[in-house]
Structure 1
Amino acid sequence: MSAYLPLLGIAIVVIGFLLKFNPLLVVTVAAFVTGIAAGFDPLAVLAALGKSFNDNRFVTIVYIVLPVIGLLERFGLQQRARALIAGFKGATAGRLLLAYLLMRQAMSALGLTSVAGHAQTVRPLVAPMGEAAAETQLGGLDEDTRETVKSYAAATDNVGLFFGEDIFIAIGSILLIKGTFETYGIEIAPLHLSLWAIPTAVLAFLIHGARLLLLDRRLAHSSPRHPRESGDPASSYGSVMKKRDSRVRGNDEGGGS
């Protein structure tokens, strides 16, 4: 019976998540309960947790950047990004995201997967810049169109990372594939897996790139540009004069009758 006591940690995790307790607290308590039930001294459990964190500290170091991004957003990072992209008249949401896709895939292929991401770049920079580019192109965005641009920005990051990181030989996914093949008795070098990931990455870039370019056409057809929103003084002035002429004619006809 005592051999099953370490499984109490699993029960603590399940109950803690069901009751919506703090996940970090739940996992820590579960680790201590499991270690003590297995016969370890509390200090030994604490030492094991510290060693595990120290060995994998490179995984969590990216979270140090998040408070900095939060401060930048508080002081107008998104507004600056919008203003920057709004200054480029030829910029569209699709072209902007296509450039980001190329950058994301290239950086991931070099192993720099943490340089960009949803928290680091998509939410504070890419999505606002995509919205600003669409506003420059269309003159105004409704809520559905705005959410569409945001979703394409998030999808672009996912595609770039997922199909780009496998080109880098020392990535977890390559090692996972290698280990899976070895369980079935298939020996394959990680370099071969990385090389065969290149055609897949190229196809992913072409397919998603085409979707991004089609996004511009879809936005242009679904949201026709209104003269007042276009920023063109001549078209705006012309529409105002037409309305004024129609009113004058209506008054003249009413007075003549």
Structure 2
Amino acid sequence: MKTNHHFAFFDEGSKKEIRRAILKAVAIPGYQVPFSSREMPIARGWGTGGLQITLSIIGCEDVLKVIDQGSDESVNAVSIKKLVQTTTGVEVTDLTQEATIIQSRHRIPEVPLDSNQILVLQVPAPEPLRDVEAREYMTKILHSEEEYSGAWLQLFEQIMKFGRTTTGADHPVYVNHRYVMAPSPIPRFDNPKMHQSEALILLGAGREKKIYAVPPFTDVRSLAFDDYPFKVESFSGKQCRLCGTSDVFLDEVLAADTGEVSYQCNDTSYCMERLNQAEKAEVENNYA
């Protein structure tokens, strides 16, 4: 079938250049590799970095899943899926375990990823030292010298002011005992999922023109002091109002009519899959 666009939107030269940047990023875990960020049919800041990675690595046999803050049906997720599917014809899915490429904004899926999958994270601000050093050439020097006292100082100031670290998302991590890295604005709850992950994790910032990576089975540790250890968000005593699970990242839901507070799985496909499994088990028990 003749089309008016290249497979996966980009010309082959563009895809090769981005793949070379990806290979360098995989070879040096946590290191930010500059690349020539292309113009995209979506605005910068809406996932152009992650989308460029996805379009450069996707093949005809891949199965794509796109999520935005846990949802498969947000405007951003649906628009990205439509663009990729229109230019490649690949299959899309909502089920994490069926996907070979998962592009995500602000979340790592609850279902553990395996070695046959690639997670692509959209990143708005890839430089973890930007709040303490505005000059790009200086942050490069700090990374090269492994001088991360500024990142530690930020955490120390939070503890002095609030008695704990207050990074709600994008808590910096140490990758492969070498580079401090911004994990993208995932909640603290998701940081441990990066450690020794079976899946390749690729991170792309289109506006900032950076690609970096966490290869499979790489050590990823969240920055923390020995006497103030890193802690994820706690949902102790709470459970999803739909599927009943309590060991995942939950969203607080406020009823408009009563003002009653309840909780629901942030990962919508995980929640729906649990509900489907519960309904199937109930049907089987009724016929047993």
User: Which structure is larger by alpha-carbon Rg, 1 or 2?
Assistant: 1
User: Same fold, TM exceeding 0.5?
Assistant: no
Question: What is the TM-score normalised by the length of structure 1?
Answer: 0.22
Question: What is the TM-score normalised by the length of structure 2?
Answer: 0.20
Structure with more strand by fraction: 2
Q: Give the structure, 1 or 2, with the largest relative contact order (CA under 8 Å, sep 6 or more).
A: 2
